[in-house]
């Protein structure tokens, strides 16, 4: 099952991993619940459920076609919730969260219904179908970084949480600000953070050949290396037909951070306009990559190096444009006789003082027609608490860098996590297509970006730029999904 998440910490520390570059997927060997509880302890769930509920009011009218509430208190006072998700099934995390919640709240029953489609998009499709049929769970996840969050709001699937959070007096500063920003639309709060990282925001470096070439490693927590310097390093490290100094791909995530590194962006904040046709800084960003890939031919075609992790372990790539997940993945992959030592270099600080990045993250939501939103909200708090989020990393196999206290615990396990803090604190959130055409947007970026940067195609820069812009804009001009 394809699930976008950070590289599982459990895999990075405790067991073997399998990482797929495009879908940010990993499989993990899980630690036991006993080990987790020994590490973090288990706190009592927050007070009485009734105390968190907002003042009594009729539920908001569902969008056209939406079904009636899915659950209701039983005659014996039991409250039943349904939890539909493709996050962490089979790891034991979901069951542990349910068990620890219901032990403290014996009047609550939670039915866990794992979604096991072949891909993320299959699972979202199933949730839309469940909603139409009146059978979608009370607790669900329409992730912002998969561009389904806004669509679920527009269709009246998920409900605002502001009244629930206010009545509960929830401290919303316990999560990193940028991941909380992902949960808000038009000033309203629609979720609490699940997984999250800073996107394709770093150069993953094999420090051994880098230093052997006489180069000084960049500070892993500073934004001091210019894009021109990275280009010069790529040229110096390149060995014809054997070693590439730098490798990257041209999907949406990489194109966004590339343009942001040049003080621009790929699309505007409203998600309605491609900036490639008019913004010279965005054009400079694409020209930087085009020169290395097409004109000088010193970067590999992604099609010729499908497994860049293995290529870096084998010494065929020295610098690889990736993210914090890739840093951890590469460190774990250096085993046996592999000649490698992990290092990272961040992209240069922007003139607006923000780090070039793309804050990517998930969410936990409540069905708008749930008959028990107060209980569902308490369960959301339970699974996104420090204990819940740490378990989401260690047991659930997800990369959830969304809380400072959880990152502090991960640093105790591996100090490499300290490298990721600057961009978690000062990153830029992802811009989503206003029409929620996320799949088409991703495809346009990847297909036309890769074609433009293919040295075998040898497309003139201006034509490649126009093709990429036109196809992105075509998607942004589509009717809402």
- State residue 20's pLDDT score: 31
Mean pLDDT of 143-167: 96
- State residue 73's pLDDT score: 53
pLDDT at 396 over 80: yes
How far is the C-alpha of 400 from the C-alpha of 389, rounded, in Å? 7
- State residue 241's pLDDT score: 85
Local confidence band at 39 (pLDDT 50, 70, 90 cut-offs): very low
Q: What tens digit of pLDDT does each residue of 442-480 get?
A: 999 999 999 999 999 999 999 999 999 999 999 999 999
Give 309 or 204, the one with higher predicted confidence.
Answer: 204
- State residue 17's pLDDT score: 27
Give 248 or 9, the one with higher predicted confidence.
Answer: 248
- State residue 422's pLDDT score: 97
pLDDT at 247 over 60: yes
Structural domains in the chain plus CATH codes? 9-57+66-198+360-426 (3.40.190.10), 202-357+431-476 (3.40.190.10)
Residue 49 Cα distances to 44, 62, 105, 167, 315, angstroms: 13, 24, 8, 11, 56
- State residue 76's pLDDT score: 67
Residue 229 Cα distances to 215, 236, 272, 282, 346, angstroms: 11, 11, 33, 19, 12
Determine whether 46 is exposed, middle or buried from the number of CB atoms within 10 Å of its CB (0-12, 13-18, 19+): middle
Give 337 or 266, the one with higher predicted confidence.
Answer: 266
Task: Give the neighbor-by-neighbor strand order of the sheet with 108-114.
Answer: 108-114, 79-85, 139-140, 360-366, 192-197
CB crowding 437-469: b at 16 or more within 10 Å, else e = bbbbbbebbbebbbebbbbeeebeeeebbbbbb
Give 58 or 238, the one with higher predicted confidence.
Answer: 238
Q: What tens digit of pLDDT does each residue of 351-364 get?
A: 999 999 999 999 99
- State residue 268's pLDDT score: 98
Residue 226 Cα distances to 208, 257, 356, angstroms: 21, 14, 12
DSSP structural state of residue 160: -
Percent of all residues in the chain with a pLDDT value above 70, rounded to a whole number = 84
Percent of all residues in the chain with a pLDDT value above 90, rounded to a whole number = 79
Local confidence band at 176 (pLDDT 50, 70, 90 cut-offs): very high
- State residue 14's pLDDT score: 32
- State residue 443's pLDDT score: 97
pTM equals 0.85
Local confidence band at 67 (pLDDT 50, 70, 90 cut-offs): very low
Q: Which residues pair with 178 in a beta bridge?
A: none
How far is the C-alpha of 235 from the C-alpha of 476, rounded, in Å? 36
- State residue 40's pLDDT score: 39
Mean pLDDT of 113-142: 96
- State residue 44's pLDDT score: 36
Mean pLDDT of 284-291: 98
Contact assessment for residue 372 and residue 166, using Cβ atoms and an 8 Å cutoff: no
Which one, of 386, 360, 374, 361, lies nearest residue 159 by Cα?
A: 374
What is the phi/psi pair of residue 244, to 5°? -105, 130
pLDDT at 53 over 80: no
| Least confidently predicted of 66-75, 226-235, 387-396, 417-426 | 66-75
Local confidence band at 43 (pLDDT 50, 70, 90 cut-offs): very low
Mean pLDDT of 246-267: 98
- State residue 217's pLDDT score: 98
- State residue 16's pLDDT score: 28
pLDDT at 69 over 60: no
- State residue 65's pLDDT score: 45
The mean pLDDT value of the chain amounts to 87
pLDDT at 90 over 80: yes
């Amino acid at each position: 099952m394809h699930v976008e998440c950070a590289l599982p910490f459990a895999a990075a520390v405790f067991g073997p991993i399998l990482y797929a570059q495009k879908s940010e997927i990993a499989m993990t060997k899980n630690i036991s619940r006993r080990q987790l509880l020994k590490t973090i302890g288990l706190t009592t769930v927050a007070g009485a459920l009734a105390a968190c509920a907002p003042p009594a009011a009729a539920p908001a009218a569902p969008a056209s076609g939406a079904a009636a509430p899915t659950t209701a208190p039983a005659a014996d006072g039991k409250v039943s919730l349904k939890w539909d998700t493709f996050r962490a099934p089979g790891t034991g995390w979901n069951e542990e969260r349910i068990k620890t919640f219901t032990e403290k709240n014996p009047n609550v029953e939670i039915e866990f219904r794992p979604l096991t489609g072949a891909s993320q998009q299959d699972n979202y499709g199933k949730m839309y179908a469940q909603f139409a049929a009146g059978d979608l769970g009370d607790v669900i996840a329409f992730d912002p970084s998969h561009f389904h969050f806004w669509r679920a709001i527009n269709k009246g699937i998920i409900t605002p949480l502001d009244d629930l959070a206010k009545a509960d007096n929830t401290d919303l500063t316990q999560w990193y600000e940028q991941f909380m920003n992902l949960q808000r639309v038009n000033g309203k709060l629609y979720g609490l953070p699940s997984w999250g990282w800073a996107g394709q925001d770093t150069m993953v470096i094999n420090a051994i050949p880098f230093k052997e070439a006489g180069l000084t490693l960049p500070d892993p927590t500073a934004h001091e290396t210019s894009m021109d310097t990275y280009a010069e390093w790529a040229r110096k490290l390149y060995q014809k037909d054997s070693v590439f100094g730098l490798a990257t791909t041209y999907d949406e995530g990489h194109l966004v951070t590339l343009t942001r590194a040049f003080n621009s962006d790929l699309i505007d904040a409203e998600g309605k306009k491609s900036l490639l046709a008019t913004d010279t800084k965005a054009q400079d960003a694409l020209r930087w990559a085009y020169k290395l890939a097409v004109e000088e031919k010193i970067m590999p075609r992604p099609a010729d190096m499908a497994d860049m992790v293995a290529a870096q372990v084998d010494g065929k790539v020295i610098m690889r444009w990736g993210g914090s997940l890739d840093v951890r993945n590469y460190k774990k992959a250096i085993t046996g006789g592999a000649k490698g030592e992990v290092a990272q270099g961040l992209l240069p600080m922007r003139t607006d003082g923000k780090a070039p990045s793309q804050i990517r993250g998930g969410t936990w939501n409540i069905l708008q027609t749930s008959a028990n939103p107060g209980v569902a909200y308490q369960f959301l708090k339970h699974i996104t608490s420090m204990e819940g989020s740490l378990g989401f990393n260690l047991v659930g196999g997800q990369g959830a860098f969304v809380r400072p206290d959880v990152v502090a615990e991960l640093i105790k396990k591996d100090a490499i996590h300290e490298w990721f803090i600057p961009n978690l604190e000062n990153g830029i959130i992802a811009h989503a297509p206003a029409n929620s055409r996320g799949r088409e947007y991703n495809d346009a970026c990847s297909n036309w970006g890769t074609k433009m940067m293919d040295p075998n195609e040898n497309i003139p820069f201006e034509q490649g730029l126009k093709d990429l812009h036109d196809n992105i804009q075509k998607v942004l001009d589509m009717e809402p999904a």
